Amino acid sequence: MIQRKFVLNAALVVALCGAAAFAQEAEDGRPAVTTDFSDHQIAVIDVDTVELLAELESSAILLACRTGLGVQHVVLPGELAAELRGRGVVVNTIEPDAQAWMNRDRAERDAKRAQRGVGFFDIYRRYGEISTFLDGVVADHPGIAVREVVGTSFGDDPLGLPGLEIFSIRLTGPGLDSDPMRPVVVINGCQHAREWISPASVTYVINELADMYGNDPRVTEIINEVELHFIPVMNPNGYEYTHTNNRFWRKNRRSNAVGGVGVDPNRNWPVGWNNGISTSTSGNNDLYVGTAPLSEPETNSVAVYMENLAGSVVCLDGCGNGCCGIGESTSRLKGHLDVHSFSQVILGPWSFTDQVAPPRVEELTLVQDNMSAAMFDATGFSYPAALGDSPLLPPAGGVMPDWSFGELGALSWTLEMRPQSNAGGGFELPESQIIPASEELLAAVIELADHARKRLEISTPAPLAETVQAEAPLALRAEVLELNGNKVVTNSVVARTRAGGAGPFDVVPMSPESGGFAATIMTPPCDTLLEIYYEAQAFDGTVVRFPADAPTSVFTTTTAELTVVADDDFESDNGWTRDPEGNDTAIRGLWERAAPGATSAQSSADFSADGTLCWVTDGNPGASLGSGDVDGGVTTLVSPAFDLSGADAAVVRYTRWYSNTTGNSPNADVFVIEVSNDDGINWVELETVGPGGPDTSGGWRSVSFRVEDFVSLTGAVRFRFSASDLGGGSIVEAAIDEFGIETIGVCETVSGCTADLDSNSAVNLDDFSIFIAQFGNGPTECAGGCTADLDGNDRVDLDDFSIFIAQFGNGPTECGL
Ligand code: 0X9
Ligand code: ZN
């Protein structure tokens, strides 16, 4: 190997986002003041050995967020490019002079800046411009916006420049900003200097939210109830350096005692600090951890600021959001987003290890899925969300959200903004995308802040079916997730139900039952509207409903005469077949009836309360995420033929699982469900899950369809479930459970009016009151006669209730008048 002045660090094997021991030193070991990249080129290299990867990590700048073997964009010295070529490595130069590229890039921006009519978010702005712009936002919104000094960035040692101010902008509604009970969220940008979309988008979000206050009802409520703190530029001196000298600079601008310039702020936090996982102790390295946790002014000042915000709210009487009892304490800091680029992913804890699951997985999952869905809704761009053990990004020690989650109790994420890859512009997302990308961040911030004010989240494991059996027991189940440290008052969980669409709702207490709350109600007579909502109370007295705006919105169903045609929890073999026609092309991950084993794409268990089996695309978790997923084509599962002939209507329901977001090509495949009414010759699509959207990151989802909306009902109706992996690099897992079909018959009127207890030729609520007053009477009470004892057995019991219900709603016609 030829002598080079580049510092080699063979120990560093794992690296992220351009992690590199970059040539910053002159011959004397002192940091070079200016960086000239004219002897560097930007190239694409297919890195096929770990030795080559290590060499590039130490002597070039890798521009990817997911470094590793494979195609990499790199900035490398020309002589290294030549040497590699000499050894047979294919180096595809896309820009021969990296300095010329940077100069051009800067000149284009300067030219745009000088043009008239250029909007603030049409170009990437300098630190000073961002600071002045946000002063304007504060001045325009004096009632809700405040600027505060957080600290001072490390002055640019080599350039002899002073440290710049790290500042925050706080948004919160008027009058309440001293309320220590008010929850706090923090959003920071630009720990990493070259990730320009980060400070740009955080600045955009501050401005938008301030303008939405008073105009957008949801945002107004959120700002009135939550304190939002933004620190748009955490590393201002590093950021400026990327504008003036080196577009690829990542760290702060400290001259390190160990040599080299810059500490990686996002390796300088206390949780997992210097743990050897994507960390370096070499001052030249892009992942240099610094001399101690929080050794840097950027991290330390922000840590102090956030610790003060988190505080400790001790409940004296009553309690605010997060207090679960008098004398208990809680952190005010409920949420934190650390905004980076690039990769387009939402990364939850832990980062420092992929070996330990974080606490509060359910709440983390709920919020990150909501953020992902809101971002998708904003622009149609997919931001898959994952917790620590996901291969979306390899682990790293000493990162900021691990600290805010682990030590301050916030729900915290690294948000990697656009683009998805270097092909989309890498750290320099095209300026035309600043606004749409910022709209995605805005959507995520609104979700996070909205969550911060919540106490409880009620959900039901399955949606209420659109029709239910008339006059039959109906099991209701609700789950209550305790959010932000709050607790549910156990006996406060109720369902409220109403039959017939008018009058007050009945209260149905729900009792605790394995992981949730349950109650059973009797459904009203055939063809009656039944409305249901759920309610629970938090320790601080807040009442939470599901749906949230109940009773304005409620869940509804209609009673009918149902005939069960199929009810299959897949615990036994009921004639389902994989690939009946032999056309499947998948080579792995084929459908089987099995108990699934957990991976980050596959469920750890079937869906049914009883039993363990479901149909799943290879239930074995395998040695790695990619060993049991669908690969190489399509795998199909076909139901037996069901006889639906003679029915006017039929409902099919199933609970499905689908995940296509955990691999290197997320959101590339679909899960197709079809129906056939000619025994499997022709198929009609029932639904397609994916390629994007909320149902593509795993989780059991129950759905139902009216079969006659798709095909006419015949004697040979089949269903087909097709999961495929048609693109490369995708991890695809699918499963189904709890399959059922019911036909819907015509409501039969039960004639007779023995239940017309007040003899007015109608069986109505008045009769019901009389019935209920006698309910439970036995031989003693009925000695003198019980009008409600409809079957004449000297008791007013459930049998009489059935008779009563059967006649309920009858009028003069049915009463034979
Ligand atoms: O490495 C980092 O600091 C972050 N990526 S970046 O490309 N912006 O540098 C990721 C940190 C969080 N990582 C995980 N949660 N695995
Ligand atoms: Zn970053």
Q: Read off the pLDDT of residues 10-58 as tens digits, 9 standing for 90 and up.
A: 222 223 333 333 334 333 444 444 568 889 999 999 888 888 988 887 7
DSSP 727-793: SSS---EEEEEEEEEEEEEPPPP----TT-TT-SS---HHHHHHHHHHTT--TTGGGG--TT-TTSS
Distance in angstroms (rounded) separating the CA atoms of residues 167 and 231: 6
**Cα of 785 vs its chain's centroid, Å:** 62
Kindly give the distance from the C-alpha atom of residue 300 to the centroid of ligand 2, in angstroms, as a whole number.
18
Nearest partner of 338 among 417, 407, 222, judged by Cα: 417
Mean pLDDT of 73-85: 92
pLDDT for the residue numbered 30: 40
| Cβ–Cβ < 8 Å for 10, 17 | no
Q: Whose CA is nearest to atom 10 of ligand 1?
A: 414
559 to each of 10, 69, 156, 524, 534, how far by Cα in Å?
Answer: 71, 59, 73, 7, 19
Q: Which of 103-112, 258-267, 641-650 has the lowest mean pLDDT?
A: 103-112
Mean pLDDT of 435-452: 98
What's the mean pLDDT when you consider all of the chain?
Answer: 89
The tokens for 352 are 């420092």
Tell how strand 145-152 and strand 61-62 pair up. Answer: unpaired
Tell how strand 473-482 and strand 456-459 pair up. Answer: antiparallel
Proportion of the chain above pLDDT 70, given as a percent: 91
Nearest partner of 188 among 272, 266, 85, judged by Cα: 266
pLDDT band, residue 552 (cuts 50/70/90): very high
Mean pLDDT of 535-557: 95
Q: What are phi and psi of 651, to 5 degrees?
A: -115, 130
- Dihedral angle computed from the Cα positions of residues 777, 781, 785 and 787, in that order, rounded to the nearest 10 degrees: -30
DSSP 226-259: -EEEEES-S-HHHHHHHHHT-TT--S--PBPTTS
Q: Could you count the other beta carbons within 10 Å of the beta carbon of residue 175?
A: 9
Residue among 416, 427, 429, 600 to mutate when testing ligand 1 (max atoms within 8 A of CB): 416
Non-local (6+) Cβ contacts of 240 within 8 A are 126, 127, 156, 161, 164
**Cβ–ligand 1 contact at 64 (below 6 Å):** no
684 pLDDT higher than 80:
yes
Kindly give the distance from the C-alpha atom of residue 414 to the centroid of ligand 1, in angstroms, as a whole number.
7
Exposure pattern of 95-114 as b/e (b: 16+ CB <10 Å)? eebbbebbeeeeeebeeeee
Distance in angstroms (rounded) separating the CA atoms of residues 288 and 280: 5
Nearest-atom number in ligand 1 for the CA of 195 is: 8
Distance in angstroms (rounded) separating the CA atoms of residues 141 and 480: 38
Kindly give the distance from the C-alpha atom of residue 781 to the centroid of ligand 1, in angstroms, as a whole number.
75
The tokens for 107 are 């000149």
pLDDT band, residue 307 (cuts 50/70/90): very high
**Cβ–ligand 1 contact at 347 (below 6 Å):** yes
Distance in angstroms (rounded) separating the CA atoms of residues 260 and 644: 76
Q: Whose CA is nearest to atom 3 of ligand 1?
A: 266
The tokens for 648 are 């006017």
- The three-state secondary structure class of 204 is helix
131 pLDDT higher than 70:
yes
Kindly give the distance from the C-alpha atom of residue 352 to the centroid of ligand 1, in angstroms, as a whole number.
10
Kindly give the distance from the C-alpha atom of residue 369 to the centroid of ligand 1, in angstroms, as a whole number.
19
**Cβ–ligand 1 contact at 393 (below 6 Å):** yes
**Cβ–ligand 1 contact at 351 (below 6 Å):** yes
Q: Could you count the other beta carbons within 10 Å of the beta carbon of residue 773?
A: 12
Kindly give the distance from the C-alpha atom of residue 438 to the centroid of ligand 2, in angstroms, as a whole number.
16
The tokens for 412 are 């915290």
| Cβ–Cβ < 8 Å for 300, 290 | no
**Reported pTM:** 0.79
Which of 662 and 213 is assigned the larger pLDDT? 213
| Tens digit of each residue's pLDDT (9 = 90 or more) over 699-755 | 899 999 999 999 999 999 999 999 999 877 789 999 999 999 999 987 776 677 889
Kindly give the distance from the C-alpha atom of residue 500 to the centroid of ligand 1, in angstroms, as a whole number.
55
Kindly give the distance from the C-alpha atom of residue 279 to the centroid of ligand 2, in angstroms, as a whole number.
14
Residue among 12, 14, 17, 267 to mutate when testing ligand 1 (max atoms within 8 A of CB): 17
Nearest-atom number in ligand 1 for the CA of 278 is: 1
pLDDT for the residue numbered 27: 39
Distance in angstroms (rounded) separating the CA atoms of residues 581 and 636: 10
| Cβ–Cβ < 8 Å for 771, 788 | yes
Token look-up 């209609």 returns 558
**Cβ–ligand 1 contact at 192 (below 6 Å):** yes
Q: What are phi and psi of 104, to 5 degrees?
A: -60, -45
Cα-trace Rg, the chain:
32
| Cβ–Cβ < 8 Å for 519, 476 | yes
**Cβ–ligand 1 contact at 395 (below 6 Å):** yes
Proportion of the chain above pLDDT 90, given as a percent: 69
| Tens digit of each residue's pLDDT (9 = 90 or more) over 509-519 | 999 998 899 99
Longest CA–CA separation in the chain, Å: 112
DSSP class of 63? -
**Cβ–ligand 1 contact at 15 (below 6 Å):** no
Q: What are phi and psi of 325, to 5 degrees?
A: 180, 155
pLDDT for the residue numbered 327: 63
**Cβ–ligand 1 contact at 17 (below 6 Å):** yes
**Cβ–ligand 1 contact at 16 (below 6 Å):** yes
pLDDT band, residue 6 (cuts 50/70/90): very low
| Tens digit of each residue's pLDDT (9 = 90 or more) over 518-534 | 999 999 988 899 999 99
Mean pLDDT of 80-91: 93
Kindly give the distance from the C-alpha atom of residue 785 to the centroid of ligand 2, in angstroms, as a whole number.
81
**Cβ–ligand 1 contact at 689 (below 6 Å):** no
Nearest-atom number in ligand 1 for the CA of 16 is: 1
Q: Is the dihedral of CA 784, 790, 793, 795 positive or negative?
A: negative
Q: Is the dihedral of CA 754, 755, 758, 761 positive or negative?
A: negative
Query: How many Cα atoms within 13 Å fall on the side-chain side of residue 525?
Result: 17
Nearest-atom number in ligand 1 for the CA of 349 is: 15
| Tens digit of each residue's pLDDT (9 = 90 or more) over 217-265 | 999 999 999 999 999 999 999 999 999 999 999 999 999 999 999 999 9
